[in-house]
């Protein structure tokens, strides 16, 4: 609500912004008062501007975070949740082929010995005596020491064999190359279809995978 004021000389009612009285013509505001009002108005406008800038900044940052998270690949979302089981791993530039081993099923979990994976760093196995479509599964350690379990298949070329060289996981058949830490494609025609990661947990000396994940797995191409 506007403050009502009157001319001190003639008593005429004044509008809030009046500098001179419309009745007697006398000046009703000093220059200092006018300057003070201008300063206060400028401060108010400046404060509003900073509030708007702050709100816009929050919206932009929130949008960037949202799109960054939504752009995360399915492979990376699984790998990010995998447990760390060893210190950092350094792979040499020499080719490392996977070792072959057997796993078993217990309480609807596919079980693989953790100590074997830590020793070999890169193993491939099939579940013995169980109806899991004979799908081969690979387990390896990332350079950060995480254990990754995945369907051991390069689907477009049907290869089930891979090797590691440095930071790369490479298909033995087509040569398609992925970064082993996040399974992002580096080169090759099958880059969109790296070994499909399977969530797994570590309990004691066991790497455990839900058997249903393997039984219900479907090819992506």
Residue 220, in any domain of the structure: no
Domain co-membership, 91 together with 173: yes
Domain boundary among 47, 69, 91: 69
Whether residues 58 and 83 fall in one domain: no
Tokens encoding 52: 């708007």
Are residues 114 and 25 part of one domain? no
Domain count, the chain: 2
Q: Are 60 and 95 members of one domain?
A: no
Each residue's pLDDT expressed in tens, for the chain with a length of 221 residues = 556 677 777 877 767 666 667 778 676 654 445 455 555 566 667 777 788 788 888 877 766 655 454 446 889 999 999 999 999 999 999 999 999 988 999 999 999 999 999 999 999 998 866 667 789 999 999 999 999 999 999 999 999 999 999 999 999 999 999 999 999 999 999 999 999 999 999 999 999 999 999 999 999 98
In a domain, 221, yes or no: no
Closest by CA to 80, choosing from 197, 205, 214, is 197
CA dihedral 175, 172, 219, 152 (to 10 degrees): -130
My answer on whether 107 and 188 are in the same domain is yes
Expressed as residue numbers, the domain containing 24 is: 5-69
The number of beta carbons lying within 10 Å of the beta carbon of residue 128 is 10
Whole-number Å distance between alpha carbons of 189 and 11: 90
Give the single-character DSSP code of 212: H
**Do 150 and 123 fall within a single domain?**
yes
Residue ending a domain, among 23, 50, 69, is 69
Same domain for 61 and 105, yes or no, is: no
Same domain, 147 and 50: no
Same domain as 91, residue 22: no
Q: Are residues 116 and 11 in the same domain?
A: no
Tell me, yes or no, whether 54 and 159 share the same domain. no
- Work out the angle at residue 34's Cα, subtended by the Cα atoms of residues 33 and 35, and round it to the nearest 5 degrees: 90
Say if residue 63 is in the same domain as residue 88.
Answer: no
Of the residues 69, 87, 107, which one is the last residue of a structural domain? 69
Asked if the structure places residue 124 within a domain, the reply is: yes
């Amino acid at each position: 609500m506007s403050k009502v004021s009157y001319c001190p000389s003639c008593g005429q009612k004044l509008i809030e912004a009046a500098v001179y009285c419309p009745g007697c013509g006398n000046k009703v505001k000093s220059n200092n008062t006018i300057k003070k009002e201008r300063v206060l108005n400028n401060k108010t406008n400046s404060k509003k501007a900073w509030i708007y800038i702050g709100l816009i900044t929050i919206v932009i940052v929130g949008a960037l975070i949202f799109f960054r998270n939504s752009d995360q690949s399915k492979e990376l979302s699984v790998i990010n949740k995998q447990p760390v089981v060893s210190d950092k791993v350094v792979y040499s530039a020499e080719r490392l082929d996977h070792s072959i081993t057997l796993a078993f099923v217990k309480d609807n979990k596919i079980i693989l010995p953790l100590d074997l994976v830590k020793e070999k760093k890169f193993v491939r196995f099939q579940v013995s005596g169980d109806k899991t479509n004979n799908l081969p599964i690979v387990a390896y350690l990332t350079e950060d020491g995480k254990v990754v379990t995945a369907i051991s298949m390069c689907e477009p070329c049907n290869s089930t064999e891979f090797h590691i060289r440095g930071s790369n996981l490479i298909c033995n058949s087509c040569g398609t190359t992925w970064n082993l830490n996040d399974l992002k494609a580096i080169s090759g025609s099958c880059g969109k279809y790296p070994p499909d990661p399977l969530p797994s947990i570590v309990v004691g000396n066991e790497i455990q995978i839900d058997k249903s994940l393997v039984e219900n797995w479907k090819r992506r191409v």
